[in-house]
Amino acid sequence: MPTVVEPKLIAGNGNKPLANAISRRMSLYRGMSVKPVDARVERFNDQEIFVEVYENVRGEDMFIVQSTSNPANDNLMELLIMADALRRSSAARITAVLPYFGYARQDRRTKARTPISAKLVANMMVTAGIERVLTMDLHAAQIQGFFDIPVDNLYASPIFALDLKTQFKDQMSDVMVVSPDVGGVARARELAKRINAPLSIVDKRREKPGEIAEMTVIGDVTGKTCIIVDDICDTAGTLCKAAEVLCQHGAKEVHAYITHGVLSGPAVERITNSVMKSLVITDSIPATDAVTGAQNIRVLPTAPMFAQAILNIWNGTSVSSLFDDDTLGPIYEGIL
């Protein structure tokens, strides 16, 4: 088998802007051009997905960049079919780079006779020939255990911490990190430790999915600049309500840092009209025109982190080193 010389990227339609940004950052780090492999991902008239790779990938270390966001089923099938095409073309190793892992919210049986779809998706990916997964901020850390292959789960909190220290450098003593629910306390605590800030919690009680019956603030937020931290913002109902409740409890202003901006339905309109000063998301999901045009929504780049993680996987070096500010800071110097 030929010696693996260079890491090679191939991009689906899930997040091409991010795939191109990753290739540019890899080119910068490597001092040589790294371009996505020439391929076509198309649909027949009946919407069947067809993939053709135009370059030789025999013996190569392949990285498929594909967010399984809306349309989740189409993007997931693209990922599986691309993996099968590469496996049948004798690629040495196939790594799925999933900036956003779809179906992650279905990680357990919440009621009788419901599926664990995240496990099903994991099984499908392994069967398709994927040998490693690189993702960011899984909805639940235990999803890594659904795979029988290595999973590298990156975290957005180091990027958020760098951005917060830049945006609020003159008022860090007033910053308080807030978890919008009890389940996200670990994520919020991680960011609070990084910026040496106190932690508060908004406890919500649901009557049924999509409806919030009651919200209670745990902790004194009076006069604080509150930073709500979460992994996913879908319709933004919980987020905007939490911001409103925090303001009612005396918060000076409220900002939100969310990893995956799903932002479906009325989300952008709600955020625009809410009491939140700003919403900061990453580019793990492609920004729509509405998101780009919203004045109080800002997008942070993840390409520098993903590019370095891909190179570390290819080199066989540590990926967890990217969790440290000392390592990540220089990568984002001049960007944030």
Q: Is 174 annotated as a binding residue?
A: no
Q: Is 142 annotated as a binding residue?
A: no
**DSSP one-letter string for 141-188:** GGGGGG-SS-EEEE-SHHHHHHHHHHHTTT-GGGEEEEESSGGGHHHH
Q: Is 237 annotated as a binding residue?
A: yes
Q: Is 234 annotated as a binding residue?
A: yes
Which tokens go with 130? 């994927």
Q: Is 248 annotated as a binding residue?
A: no
Contact yes or no for 215/247 (Cβ under 8 A):
no
Q: Is 236 annotated as a binding residue?
A: yes
**Annotation says 204 is catalytic:** yes
Q: Is 106 annotated as a binding residue?
A: yes
Q: Is 105 annotated as a binding residue?
A: yes
Q: Is 171 annotated as a binding residue?
A: no
- Catalytic option among 16, 204, 208, 224: 204
Pick from 37, 258, 47: nearest CA to 136: 258
Q: Which helix (H) or strand (E) holds 237?
A: helix 237-248
d(CA 55, CA 218): 56
Q: Is 55 annotated as a binding residue?
A: no
Is the N-terminal amide bond of 330 cis, ω within 30° of 0?
no
**Strand runs (DSSP E) across the chain, as ranges?**
7-11, 39-43, 49-53, 61-65, 93-98, 132-136, 151-154, 175-179, 199-205, 214-218, 225-233, 253-261, 278-282, 297-300
Q: Is 139 annotated as a binding residue?
A: yes
Q: Is 181 annotated as a binding residue?
A: yes
Beta-strand pair 49-53/39-43? antiparallel
d(CA 27, CA 308): 11
Binding annotation for D-ribose 5-phosphate = 206, 230, 234-238
Active-site positions? 204
Binding annotation = 46-48, 105-106, 139, 181, 206, 230, 234-238
Binding annotation for Mg(2+) = 139, 181
Binding annotation for ATP = 46-48, 105-106
